Amino acid sequence: MTKEFLHRIKRKLMKMRLQPIRVFCFHQVSDEFDASTMYLDDWLQTDEFKKRVQSMREQGYRFISLEEAHEHIKHDFIRTYKYAVLTADDGWASLKNILPWLNEQRIPITLFINPAYLDGKHFRERNTEKYLTQEDLKSLNIQYPLLSIGSHGWEHVDATKQTEQEFAESVSNSVNVLRSYPNFIPFFAFTWGYCNSKTYSTVCASNLTPVFINGNKNFNNKASIYRELLK
């Protein structure tokens, strides 16, 4: 039998004993779409966001933190519960619209942040976009104990188009800023999910868990976290 055949058999057996952990990613959430500060492809209406989360609960999913999910992925031999995780990329200020509701529902969330925009002065692409600030993160840490933050790189750029040194500095600079917040966790979400072997190795060498957006579910891949868009 070939190695590929044995690998397929192993995957099937694994799926028989493990419920997959689903990690969802979204970006902007607000009551109304603002074309001057938002991207339509990244936006969810507030009630629609709540409806999708409630639908997951009705399907029997238990919402847990990203760190807890990673522990399950690393150690579970049998997993009968259906777990789900919420993450949000880019650190948009509009995320403050749904944090009170998530707190009421006791649902954890991880925000992946680009520290370059925390000063409220530097923006990407256009100067009307609104991001969370340093002061926001400090207050949110106190208000929402189920909120954690991870790195999204220093700026929102394609890691595969940076030199090895540029990307290494991006990772290092972002972590140096974010680790000052008590709710920082050692996870790195690649922007747009773009990654290659060198950027992957850099993240792992920095003792960070790589996080992707590739539509996959998590069984027991101990080295990475896979995500799907919240649709």
Answer yes or no: is 6 within a domain. Answer: no
CATH number at residue 225: 3.20.20.370
Residue 8 lies in a domain: no
Alpha-helix runs per DSSP H in the chain: 3-17, 46-58, 66-75, 99-104, 134-143, 164-178, 197-205
Question: Is residue 9 a part of any domain in this protein?
Answer: no
What percent of the chain stands above pLDDT 90?
A: 81
- Cross-strand bridge partners of residue 188: 151, 210
Query: Using one digit for the tens of pLDDT, what is the confidence trace for 173-212?
Result: 999 999 999 999 999 999 999 999 999 999 999 999 999 9
Cα of 119 vs its chain's centroid, Å: 21
Number of domains in the chain: 1
Q: What is the pTM of this model?
A: 0.91
Domain that holds residue 32: 16-229
Could you report the per-residue pLDDT of 90-120, keeping only the tens digit for each?
999 999 999 999 999 999 999 999 999 998 7
